[in-house]
Structure 1
Amino acid sequence: MYISRRQFLAALGATPIIANIDVADPPYTYSVKGKLPVSEMATTLIHEHVLVDFIGAEKISPDRWKHDEVIRKVLPYLLEIKKRGIKTLVECTPAFIGRDVVLLKKLSEQSGLNILTNTGYYGASDNKYLPKWAFTETAEQLASRWIAEFENGIEGTGIRPGFIKTGVNSGKLSELHQKLVRAAALTHLKTGLTICSHTGPAVPAREEIEILKQSGVHPSAFVWVHANGSAEELEDVGKSGCWISLDGVNADNIARHVELISFLKNKGRLGQVLISHDAGWYRPGEADGGEFRGYTTISDKLIPALKTQGFAEADTRTLMVANPAKAFAISIHKG
């Protein structure tokens, strides 16, 4: 599923939600191997995981896993999607939950896939995965840390993040989580990195979007991760111009995703929809890395199901190629 640079730029110019964005030429992002024109992302899974460690920010350490063991477990799953035409994997594991950019670079080199990593902190799950300074530092101080990772590379590796990953709880935003969103806004305004926030329901999503707007960031810089609620709620929040990320695709919810995507297409919002599995992942501390869920359900089940409902090849290309390229292109989206 390939889209040429000319096709991508034409689509970029025709998309109303990015009318206020200064677009780089050519549009690009960063993979763990370096600068990547987004036209070369091709077919993309926008929310997956290679390794996640839920032990908590105070106890996590890269000593809890060995690269060779993780690669032995994970690489076959990456090669499996490569055979299905997937070219890029956006790895959404944040710092202090198992982000390991050197591991990701090794997997990228061995699989031939583009892999994107992130900067930012994850406040969901009641702040278990936040470092202690996230509670005391200002939004400006947190943003300076994330900006430094973009400008200088992550943890001395020279590997730059391709997006910002944060997370909030599912209810009204706490002051701490409001601060994380403001820090993400400041980071975006300096770097142009897209903000992907683990959110869930519409209530916190609306609050996040309002904070971004107050900070001078257009909602088209925001990916509403784990967007859920009624189809009408998704469409209504989508009127802001944000990305609607349906990233929990599995074998048991294909019909529901077909229903939601079809509804959003009929409302003229297919150009704001992102899809992925939120699958994986190697689990430190469990035998052989624990149970691993692969990344093939979209290719094997969801796309064929959409085609039976009248989705054309162009619609599939929008979901899997054009939308990810637009969503992750590094550019400052001013409100």
Structure 2
Amino acid sequence: MTRRQFLATMGIAPVMRGIDLAGPPYTYSVKGQIAVSALGTALIHEHVLVDFIGADSISPNRWNHGEVIGKVLPYLLEIKSRGIQTLVECTPAFIGRDVVLLKKLSERSGLHILTNTGYYGASDNKYLPKWAFTETAEQLASRWTVEFEEGIEGTGIRPGFIKTGVNSGRLSELHQKLVKAAALTHLKTGLTICSHTGPALPAREEIGILVRSGVHPSAFVWVHAGGSAEELENVGRSGCWISLDGVNTDNIGKHVEWITFLKSKGRLGQVLISHDAGWYRPGEPDGGEFRGFTTISDKLVPALKEQGFTEADIRILMVANPAKAFAIRVRRD
């Protein structure tokens, strides 16, 4: 298969506005460079371990790899048995990102696992390191770019995307800086920007910063996209990714409604789905209550098929769209 033929199977038009298709379609998992065609069926927003103690107190000494693996590995093998091949692990630095742990889990489970660079400003900045308050966007971008070019914390493991986060209202000056830093990092590395956002208001402001920085909105994943179906579609007109990543057993109907509406508006090719589940919690007995990653396979996909979604539609959601979204390439506006 030629590269042009592969891009066609992924639904990537060679003339798509703002997309630089000069580079090969690849990304990085915790085990190294991987063609996006090998990602297969993917869950694009999940967590293995999250530590909410705060940036000032967090330490990898707060958890034991063997204990975490004992708790988490069965859940990874469970989704592998359902045909999931890739897990995008969205825990940022200073909230429990542990790339060595992720590599061990990838090796034991046989799943591709992607990790990230970037800082998370949501939750009123509790998880930001002290220098995030004083350094410029350029300085922060330099830190994140070094992680991409040299590997994370001396491990040689490279991030497959940028993860940041903002509060749900209008963007503060600090959060504007984080988004600007993400834009600069994207222009240097081609990494996709996944930003914990929520409502449409901050999403629009983030997209505005990216565009003014020369980054096309197709480099932006609107994480926890929320609001009415009409708001989702309206913001989606920018070309950004609409990430419906809070799927659980209580909201299947809502997600079917949203995805059906977006398909009717021609935006199925911009939708990403996941659970935002998992979460081994250091400090809690046995890591606390862990929510598995099977609701999409067991509940949402069958519900979509009942509404007339085809296997091809499901492949767009879970194979083609993740491959497009996480391919490393600079997307200029």
TM-score normalised by L of structure 1: 0.97
Question: Which residue matches 1:97?
Answer: 95
Question: Which residue matches 1:263?
Answer: 261
The equivalent position to 1:164 in structure 2, one of 162, 166, 178, is 162
The equivalent position to 1:153 in structure 2, one of 137, 143, 151, is 151
Question: Which residue matches 2:328?
Answer: 330
> Cα–Cα, structure 1 residues 14 and 195, in superposed 2: closer, same or farther, change >3 Å?
closer
Q: How does 1:1-335 map to 2 (within 5 A)?
A: 8-12=6-10, 14-15=12-13, 18-24=16-22, 26-335=24-333
User: Counterpart amino acid of 1:330?
Assistant: I
> Cα–Cα, structure 1 residues 192 and 119, in superposed 2: closer, same or farther, change >3 Å?
same
CA deviations 1:181-211 (Å, max 9, x no partner) are 0000000000000000000000000000000
CA deviations 1:153-203 (Å, max 9, x no partner) are 000000000000000000000000000000000000000000000000000
For these two proteins, the number of residue pairs brought into alignment is 333
8 Å contact kept, 2:14–2:21: no
Q: Distance in 2 between matches of 1:218 and 1:11?
A: 22
3-state SS, counterpart of residue 235 of structure 2: helix
Report the RMSD for the aligned CA atoms in angstroms.
Answer: 1.5
User: Counterpart amino acid of 2:322?
Assistant: P
Q: Distance in 2 between matches of 1:4 and 1:160?
A: 27
8 Å contact kept, 1:185–1:217: yes
What is the CA-CA distance between 1:11 and the residue it aligns to? 3.8
User: Counterpart amino acid of 2:192?
Assistant: T
3-state SS, counterpart of residue 63 of structure 1: helix
User: Counterpart amino acid of 2:126?
Assistant: K
Q: Distance in 1 between matches of 2:266 and 2:10?
A: 16
CA deviations 1:85-109 (Å, max 9, x no partner) are 0000000000000000000000000
> Cα–Cα, structure 1 residues 192 and 25, in superposed 2: closer, same or farther, change >3 Å?
closer
Q: Distance in 2 between matches of 1:4 and 1:123?
A: 41
8 Å contact kept, 2:225–2:232: yes
CA deviations 1:23-71 (Å, max 9, x no partner) are 2553000000000100000000000000000000000000000000000
What is the CA-CA distance between 1:272 and the residue it aligns to? 0.1
What is the CA-CA distance between 1:13 and the residue it aligns to? 6.0
Q: Distance in 2 between matches of 1:287 and 1:156?
A: 31
8 Å contact kept, 1:5–1:39: no
User: Counterpart amino acid of 1:72?
Assistant: G
3-state SS, counterpart of residue 68 of structure 1: helix
8 Å contact kept, 2:23–2:329: no
What is the CA-CA distance between 1:8 and the residue it aligns to? 3.9
> Cα–Cα, structure 1 residues 53 and 224, in superposed 2: closer, same or farther, change >3 Å?
same
Q: Distance in 1 between matches of 2:11 and 2:320?
A: 12
Q: Identify unmatched segments of 5+ residues in structure 2.
A: none
Q: Distance in 2 between matches of 1:16 and 1:207?
A: 28
What is the CA-CA distance between 1:20 and the residue it aligns to? 2.3
User: Counterpart amino acid of 1:176?
Assistant: L
What is the CA-CA distance between 1:5 and the residue it aligns to? 7.2
> Cα–Cα, structure 1 residues 61 and 239, in superposed 2: closer, same or farther, change >3 Å?
same
Q: Distance in 2 between matches of 1:324 and 1:226?
A: 16
Q: Distance in 2 between matches of 1:7 and 1:285?
A: 50
8 Å contact kept, 2:50–2:281: yes
Aligned-pair identity in percent equals 82
CA deviations 1:210-269 (Å, max 9, x no partner) are 000000000000000000000000000000000000000000000000000000000000
TM-score normalised by L of structure 2: 0.98
> Cα–Cα, structure 1 residues 225 and 119, in superposed 2: closer, same or farther, change >3 Å?
same
8 Å contact kept, 1:18–1:220: no
3-state SS, counterpart of residue 173 of structure 1: coil
8 Å contact kept, 1:49–1:92: yes
Q: Distance in 2 between matches of 1:136 and 1:59?
A: 19
Q: Identify unmatched segments of 5+ residues in structure 1.
A: none
